[in-house]
Every structure is written in C-alpha cells, then in structure tokens.
Copies of this chain bind each other. A is one copy, B any other.
C-alpha cells in the first residue's frame, strides 16, 4: 500500500497531522504558560508552521495523487472515506489563493487586537473599520470556496467546521426552536418562581480544593491524567491530541460551579478525542467528524449527564465533602436545582441550556445577513439588540453585553456559531436513545459510574470518527437525522415535569 498513490497520501497527511499537532501544542503553551515577552516570537513560530502546513497541503503533486488514488480505492470504506476527506481539505486549501489566506490571517489578528480594547469600552465604532476588512475578506474566501465546493457561500464557510452542513437544514431546526421557545420559557420561569431560589453553598472554595474536585470528577467521567493535564487560563478551552489532552479552566473562589461544569464540558471533548480509533490516528478519517458532534460530546457530559437528577445523587455529597461543607445548601435537590436554573441573560457563555440556542440563532441569522450584504455592519449593534429583544424579550444595555461579547467574528470565525446549538440538540438525541436502550446508563450516573454511558458513546459515535457523515452517524445511532424533538422533550421533562 505504501507505494501506491493512496499510501503516499497517507504518509503526506501523517506529516500534516504532526505539524498541526505541533501548532496546537504551541497555542496551548501561549495561552497557559508563555510569559508576555514571548508573544511576538510565538506568533512568528506559529505563522511559519502554518505557512509550511499550507504549502504542504497545496503541493502541486497532491491533486494528481488524489485522482490516482480515487481510481485505486474501491471497496474498503475507511480508506475510501479517508480519501474523500483528503480531497475535502485539499479543495478548501487550494480554493483560496495564498495572498488571500495571508491577508485574512493578518486582518483577523489585527481586528482581534482592536476588539480587545473595544469590548470593555463598549466601543463598536472603534472596531468597525477592522471588522469591515475581515468581513470583506471572509466574503471573498466564501465565494472562492463556494465555487470550488459547489455550494452556497455560507455553506462553504460552514463546511470548515461542519463538513456537509447545510443552512437550509439549520433554518428548519432553528426556526422550529425559535417558535417553541417564547411560550416554553415563560412556562419554565413561571414554574421556577413558584418555589424560592435554591440556597448558595457557602465557601471558601479555594482554588486548590476546586482543582482537586475537578480532577476527581473528570477522572470519574473517564479522563486519564497519564494522558492529559488540567491547567488554568483566562479563557477555558481544551486542545491537545488523543494521547495528551490539555484542559484548562479558571477558578472563581466565590462559586466553584463555573470551573467544575467547565471541566466536565471539556472532559466530554477529551473523551471524544480519546475514543476514536488509534489505527486511524493522524489521518483525516480518524479526526473528529465536525464541531456539531464534538460539541455534542461535551454537552452530553455537561448538560445531559452532569446536570441530571440521577448524577446529583452521587455528586452532591462528593461536592460537599470536597469543601468540607454542611447544611441544607448541600442537599441533592438544592444543588441540582442550582445546576438547572434558567434565566434570561445577555451573555451567551453564561446562558442556561434553554436560552442558549436563542443566542446562537441570533448570531446565525446576523452572520448570514452580513455575509449576504443584507445587513450593513454599522447597523449590527441595532440589529443585535432588536434580535435579542424578539428572541428573549430583553435588550442589552450596551454593546459590551451585545455584539462585542464574542471573539468569533472579530478573529475571522464565521459559520461556526450554529454548531454550538446543533451539538446541544445532537446530545439530547443521543442521550434519549442511549438511556432508553440501556437503563444502566442513568443508574450508573447515580453511583458515579460513567462506563455505561461512555461505552455507548464509544460504540455509536467515537469509534466511527469521520468514516461516515454527521447525518449518517446520528441516524445510525438514533434512528433519524438531527432535529430538535429530543431536545424539546428533554427540556420539557427537566423543567416542566
């Protein structure tokens, strides 16, 4: 095999994968370890490796090798899927001229830097010129990729994060949820207000004891600290490779739940990384299928499992003991009610699972309008406020809590937002099916045993990697492609029953 066109492509992609892994490690160090003096040099290192990776990807020989290999491969589905994912990446890379890639990279960095000043000062006008450049270049890239991929411009951007994702499907799912939400949210809040708010456990919650609790709970889910680390950074994230997952969080000494739920979320991502087949490691087919499935794996742990009533049977006393707490605030019911509190709010990353999709639907609609040229950028703050008013019945008092809150558009990530909510819906659909087929999954959570849940996920999601499409994986696991019915049933059961 290794002398065949396909074998040569595998070797080539192994190299690309190592290079990508190295870039990831440098990014982690930059966010977690690097002193400020290293910033400029690190940017040069990462830029150099990124250019080398791009040059390897668009190497003139690759197009011919792909065509040759496509003639070779006929039967075995994994190499066939691998080859088709190679072509997808090659099309993405070759669609965009090098100088446009470079201009976009520079415009994104520049705009992000300005955004870091503009956000705390609610100064949208400050970042408007830089954002105008980013949008113009993003539209150029979208046009180039749309032509190469044979799809709409928005779908071409979406394809980077969610391969084969299509906006007409998203329109239908988001439209349905937007219709469901207003009355449902009223009902949930009415119901929630019938009883007094749950009591807050009292600290102190030292960083050290939070770290110990986060480590213990992450290990309970299945995280292996011989193959990963937990550190601190300003903005929590997870990165790394299957054999070396790097999770970060930050500790709020007044409320441990932010760090804990964040770590459980990132642990879900790490379990997906670890659960894919080792034998396809470093090949496109061995990678995560896309951001919808990736997010579904973090949210099935954080939202479905770790905010379930069953889990709190086990988790409440563990949390109490971690901080040497006592009293009714540590009771199972009280802690569980705190974990599923719903509130209309301005900030996406602080939102509960009921209102979170409204934040995403808003951004999805706005980014489509901006890319289509239907929403001039100077109208964005007003359109944002109108949109949130119509979806959640609240209006942000300033742009810091409005259209300046997220980094995504400013650093050039357009087409990413919908995957957060598609992931939440996929998590509900997987969890509904899994718990119906195997009652031991919920029983397991009540005794701190994630093996039954992780076993199901490994078999039905992780082990498939990118060998099938997102649609195929979800349909094979749950009997139908993605929709919001499981998610609505989940919310109704959790908040209104």
From B21, B35, B40, B47, give the contact of A41 (CB < 8 A): B21
A18-B44, A21-B41, A49-B19 given; A35·B241 CB < 8 A: no
Asked if A37 is an interface residue, CB under 8 A from chain B, the answer is yes
Q: Which residues of B contact A15 (CB under 8 A)?
A: 48
Query: Does the CB pair A18–B229 fall under 8 Å?
Result: no
Q: Hey, what's the 0/1 contact readout for A40-57 against B, CB within 8 Å counting as 1?
A: 111011111100100000
The answer to whether A244 and B34 touch across the interface, beta carbons within 8 angstroms, is: yes
How far apart are the CA atoms of A22 and B47 in the complex, in Å? 11
Taking CB atoms, residues of chain B closer than 8 Å to A229 are 33, 35
A396 CB–B CB distance under 8 Å = no
Counting CB contacts under 8 A, is A226 at the interface? yes
Known pairs A22-B22, A25-B29; A244 contacts B48 (CB<8 A)? no
Task: Return A144 CB to nearest CB of chain B, in Å.
Answer: 24
B-side contacts of A42, CB under 8 Å: 25, 244
**Interface contact A48-B19, CB-CB below 8 Å:** yes
Interface presence of A38 (CB below 8 A)? yes
B residues in contact with A22, CB < 8 Å: 22, 26, 45-46, 48-49
Are the C-beta atoms of A243 and B41 separated by less than 8 Å? yes
Interface residues of A in 88-129 (CB under 8 A from B): none
On whether A19 and B243 interact (CB within 8 A), knowing A29-B29, A229-B33, the answer reads no
Q: How far is the CA of A226 from the CA of B40 in the complex (A)?
A: 13
- A42-85 CB contact bits vs B (8 Å, 1 = yes)? 10111111001000000000000000000000000000000000
Question: Within residues 4 to 41 of chain A, which ones have a CB less than 8 A from any CB in chain B?
Answer: 15, 18-19, 21-22, 25-26, 29, 33-38, 40-41
Q: Which of B37, B45, B225 contacts A224 (CB 8 A)?
A: B37
**Beta-carbon nearest neighbor of A224 in chain B:** B37
Known contacts A19-B52, A22-B22, A48-B19, A243 near B40 by CB under 8 Å: yes
Question: A18–B40 contact, CB under 8 A?
Answer: no
What B residues does A48 contact at CB under 8 A? Answer: 15, 18-19, 22
Instruction: Tell me whether chain A's interface is mostly helix, strand or loop, or mixed.
Output: helix
Would you call A241 and B41 a contact (CB within 8 A)? yes
A228 at the interface (CB under 8 A from B): yes
Assembly CA distance A49 to B20 (angstroms): 11
The residue from B37, B47, B243, B282 contacting A37, defined by CB atoms under 8 A apart: B243
Taking CB atoms, residues of chain B closer than 8 Å to A36 are 226-227
Q: Which residue of B lies closest to A53 (CB)?
A: B52
In angstroms, Cα B106 to Cα A18, docked, is 13
Name the interface residues of A241-262: CB closer than 8 Å to any CB of B.
Answer: 241, 243-244
- Quick check: B26 and A244 within 8 Å, CB to CB? no
Smallest Cβ distance from A250 to chain B, in angstroms? 18
Chain B contacts for A25, CB-based, 8 A = 25-26, 29, 42, 45
Interface members, chain A 188-243 (any B CB < 8 Å): 224-229, 240-241, 243
Within 8 Å CB of A224, what residues of B? 37
**A243 and B29 within 8 A (CB):** no
Residues of B within 8 A of A35 (CB): 225-229, 244
Please measure, in the bound complex, the distance between the C-alpha atom of A187 and the C-alpha atom of B282, giving whole angstroms.
62
Identity of the chain B residue whose Cβ is nearest the Cβ of A55 in the assembled complex: B52
* A19, A29, A38: most-surrounded residue (chain B CB, <10 A): A38
CA–CA, A162 and B44, complex, Å: 28
Whether A45 and B18, one on each chain, are in contact in the complex, defined by CB atoms closer than 8 angstroms, is yes
A16 to chain B, nearest CB (A): 9
Within 8 A of B (CB), among A342-398: none
**A266–chain B nearest beta-carbon distance, Å:** 15
Complex contact B19–A227 (CB within 8 A): no
The CA of A19 and the CA of B226, in the complex, are separated in Å by 28
Q: In the complex, how many angstroms separate the beta carbon of A14 from the nearest chain B beta carbon?
A: 8
**CB-based nearest B residue for A244:** B38
Give residues in A with beta carbon < 8 Å to B: 15, 18-19, 21-22, 25-26, 29, 33-38, 40-42, 44-49, 52, 224-229, 240-241, 243-244, 282
Identify the 7 closest CB pairs spanning chains A and B, nearest first.
Answer: A38-B244, A37-B227, A18-B48, A22-B45, A37-B243, A18-B45, A41-B243
16 A/B residue pairs, CB under 8 Å, sorted by A: A18-B45, A18-B48, A19-B48, A19-B49, A19-B52, A21-B44, A22-B48, A22-B49, A35-B244, A36-B226, A38-B240, A38-B241, A38-B244, A40-B243, A44-B282, A52-B52
Taking A18-B48, A21-B44, A37-B228 as given, write out 7 further A-B residue pairs in contact, using a Cβ cutoff of 8 Å, ordered by the A residue number.
Answer: A22-B22, A22-B46, A25-B26, A35-B229, A37-B244, A41-B241, A41-B244
